[in-house]
Amino acid sequence: MRLRHIKGCEDFISDAKECIREDKAIEQKGKIQDIFKEKRPLQIEIGMGKGQFIRNMAIKNPDINFIGIEKYESVLMKAIQRKRNLETEKEIDNLRFLCADARKLAEIFDVGEVDKIFLNFSDPWPKDRHANRRLTSPDFLNIYDTILKKDGVIEFKTDNRGLFEYSLEVIKDSKWKLNYCSFDFHSEKESEGNIMTEYEEKFVGQGNKICKMIISR
């Protein structure tokens, strides 16, 4: 993925009280919830983009702590700015950000520390030689297996049919079980109350079908 670099984004991220960087998070492994005012159940979104989904999840669920994870600093800066723009009257104190590569998550979170993981419109990495970079690859599922609570779940949404079918094959050959699966999520009753990402709004507006699965162990 090629992104436009925004001058000053590195310093902005380093100074942001709402955000913790990968190196510091690794040093403080198991204490990630110290960045919140209060310890609550923890849910994370990996590759959150500009943060619309997790921001609205935090507003809707004040009794849950949310961490949006994004490795691209220029994108993360926009997510933080948009959060601040909504805080003119009240702080969203159950939402924080982590600037990190998803491959490092087992070095950041304790075993069983996370209650739920969201994967929304992840990069499909369509070339076979890049399959291990997909966030639903066996390597990443092993990471999630470590940090997720025993009764925790993963929710995955995408508009990319190829990525979805690949993910189903990976699940079939793993310890994970499929709790829910749809190739046209927005046509089903389960989509009631669904919170959309920026990409989801765009794709639905174009008439694209959204695939969704929920998995657990």
Active site residues: 123
Rounded to an integer, what distance in angstroms lies between the CA atom of residue 52 and that of residue 121? 13
Q: CB–CB of 97/19 below 8 Å?
A: yes
Of 103, 31, 40, 90, the C-alpha closest to 66 is: 40
Rounded to an integer, what distance in angstroms lies between the CA atom of residue 131 and that of residue 175? 19
Q: What is the DSSP secondary structure assignment for residue 48, as one 8-state letter? A: -
Q: CB–CB of 185/210 below 8 Å?
A: yes
Cα 6–chain centre separation: 22
